[in-house]
Amino acid sequence: MRSYSLIAPAKINLYLEIIGDRADGYHELVMILQSIDLADKIDLRAIGTQSIQVHCEDAEVPQDDSNLAYRAAKLIADNFPERFAQFGGVEINIKKNIPVAAGLAGGSTDAAAVLVGLDMMWQLGLTQPELQDLAAKLGSDVPFCLAGGTAIATGRGEELDPLPSLDSLYVVLAKYRNLAVSTPWAYQTYRSQFGDTYIRDANSLEARAHRVHSGPMVQAILNDNMGEIGKLLYNDLEKVVLPNYPEVLQLRKAFERSGALGTMMSGSGPTVFALCQSEGEAQRILQEVKRAISAPDLGFWVSRLSKHGIQVI
């Protein structure tokens, strides 16, 4: 076929613990990642010229080779030059629904969709592990975005262990449209302030055991204990982002007062989410926080937790 449409869901972090630094400048993480229904739509179309083109109506999204979706197509083209020559170029159209630079893996999930779409369009027949390897080359969150659902993510974030689905729950997300937090800044600041709390050898047996169990949150998920899951939401990066971004701290406090199951910042922020039992509760909390903070550039979204990664439609 000459065109494919894919759904690319966002993710939130139910848990993010930084357990060590790495020689490559990255950090050893123990995370629990969760897909949500809020998703971009990616359309791929074969074009006559031997080129990769990215189009997106959202002015915040780069349309050049710095776009991760472009880099995903380039990675496939470089790895399979004969297929690129045979099938020609591709136009990537991104319909953006996930807020940009938000800590919700919007760019990573678009890149994951391009990998899945080009695998089909160029008839590569890649296995899941092969797709996951390519995904890890693009970014730490891209492998999870491919697989989706609920998963423990360790290493840089690319080693995944699936967990039972939590897709009966909802989230309210809130983000200031003009606010962005640099992810490298957040990790570097954390390293300089809290590096002395790292497990000394993050590749040790102790660290491995820690990763596999990753504490009470995994138990709460296995027991389907929603109240506990809400209480155990955790993100080390809040320790550096909240003191430096008073607007995010204010949001976080407003959600805390709202009676949700729990609230947390996602990834390196600045999106804050509240976990809710039902859509009705999510709408109630949205209205309450909207009344508490009147800021014209504050955006809200209600989304259901999802068991899906990239889907072809």
- To the nearest whole angstrom, how small is the minimum distance from the Cβ of residue 213 to ligand C5P? 19
> Which residue carries 């966002």 as its tokens?
10
Q: Which is nearer to ligand C5P, 27 or 211 (CB)?
A: 27
Find, among 149, 146, 186, the residue nearest to 165 by Cα: 149
Which residue in the set 11, 27, 210, 252 belongs to the binding site for ligand C5P (CB under 6 A)?
27
Q: Which is nearer to ligand C5P, 20 or 262 (CB)?
A: 20
Catalytic residue among 11, 37, 40, 236: 11
Residues 6+ apart with CB under 8 A from 289: 172, 174, 251, 254, 255, 258, 274, 300
Q: Which is nearer to ligand C5P, 110 or 141 (CB)?
A: 141
Residues 132-151 contacting ligand C5P, CB under 6 A: 139-141
| Token pair listed for 150 | 């609920």
Q: Tell me if 214 contacts ligand C5P by CB under 6 A.
A: no
141 catalytic, yes or no? yes
**Contacts within 8 Å (CB) and 24+ apart, 100-103:** 100/58, 100/60, 100/61, 101/60, 101/180, 101/181, 102/175, 102/266, 102/269, 102/270, 102/271, 103/13, 103/181, 103/265, 103/266, 103/267, 103/268, 103/269, 103/270, 103/271
Which residue in the set 184, 192, 296, 313 belongs to the binding site for ligand C5P (CB under 6 A)?
184
Q: Tell me if 13 contacts ligand C5P by CB under 6 A.
A: no
Stretch that binds ligand C5P, among 25-33, 73-81, 209-217, 301-309 (CB under 6 A): 25-33
Q: Which is nearer to ligand C5P, 157 or 230 (CB)?
A: 157
Is the CB of residue 166 less than 8 Å from the CB of residue 34? yes
Q: Which is nearer to ligand C5P, 67 or 140 (CB)?
A: 140
Residues 6+ apart with CB under 8 A from 145: 8, 9, 11, 35, 105, 108, 109, 111, 112, 135, 309, 310
11 catalytic, yes or no? yes
Q: Tell me if 183 contacts ligand C5P by CB under 6 A.
A: yes
Q: Tell me if 103 contacts ligand C5P by CB under 6 A.
A: no
- C-alpha distances (whole Å) from 212 to each of 20, 145, 216, 226 are 15, 20, 12, 21
Catalytic residue among 40, 141, 175, 236: 141
Stretch that binds ligand C5P, among 3-11, 23-31, 51-59, 72-80 (CB under 6 A): 23-31
Q: Tell me if 20 contacts ligand C5P by CB under 6 A.
A: no
- To the nearest whole angstrom, how small is the minimum distance from the Cβ of residue 191 to ligand C5P? 8
Dist CA 190 CA 18 (whole Å): 9
Dist CA 44 CA 93 (whole Å): 6
Which residue in the set 15, 144, 176, 187 belongs to the binding site for ligand C5P (CB under 6 A)?
187
Catalytic residue positions, numbered = 11, 141
Footprint of ligand C5P (CB under 6 A): 26-27, 29, 139-141, 156-157, 183-184, 187
